[in-house]
Amino acid sequence: MEVVYKTSKTHRGSLLSKLKANGKFSDVTIRCGPVEVMAHKCVLTASTPYFRGMFLNDTYEANTGILDFSSAMTPEVMRQCVNFIYMGTAWISAPIATGLIDAAEMLQLPELSKLCIEFLAENINLTTFPEVISLSRLYNKNSLNEPILRFLDDNLKMLVKSNRIKSLDYETLGYCYDLLQRATQSHELWKWYGLLNWTHANLEERKSKLPELFRTTAHSSGRS
């Protein structure tokens, strides 16, 4: 008789979901502001190197079973991180997406980070653009480059005329202009206009950056 290996895709998630919901055998309290969530050291330790390092060493958290993330994330972000650890699912929405990827990177949850990146790539707009491009540069998320470039290619004029470009820091603005070198359309006029608009938003602080930005923009224009 042939022996066939079978496995249930829902078994592990179902057990961990019940374990989380019951809370009876929990030995960890995760705090975030006024919100507390009960959890289990064994589950957290198995989920990520972040918690392994925490609980396998003589740390305050290992000794007390209290984890306070109040200064690192919002309560809703914390809830979604815990949900992902136990069930592999998370509710990702625009208001928490950037905070969730920050938390996923801190907690070393690459699969959650990937889900957040996919969500952000599908939801780039004038409101989210500054945060998305800053996250792409900060965490070296190259998978965001193409969606960002497509957005810039189609919406640079609106971005420049809005106040959103003014909120970018110097390094992120340079990153944005580097991506524009691969644009399918010519954006020279709006690149220069955006540069002046960005500088004028905080002239005293940004004017020292202007010569270097002019040289960089002129150099990239010459290669276009």
Q: What is the pLDDT of residues 60-116, one digit of tens each?
A: 999 999 999 999 999 999 999 999 998 888 899 888 999 999 999 999 999 999 999
Query: Same structural domain for residues 86 and 132?
Result: no
**67 & 146 share domain:** no
In a shared domain, residues 1 and 111? yes
Whether residues 57 and 152 share a domain: the answer is no
CATH number for position 13: 3.30.710.10
Q: Name the more confident of 75 and 2.
A: 75
| Structural domain boundaries, residue 162 | 127-219
**Does 47 map to a domain?**
yes
Q: Do 115 and 135 share a domain, yes or no?
A: no
Query: Are residue 50 and residue 151 in the same domain, yes or no?
Result: no
Phi, psi of 12 (to 5 degrees): -60, -45
Q: Enter the pTM of the model.
A: 0.77
Mean pLDDT, the chain, whole residue set: 84
- CB neighbours of residue 224 within 10 Å: 11
Would you state the pLDDT for residue 11? 47
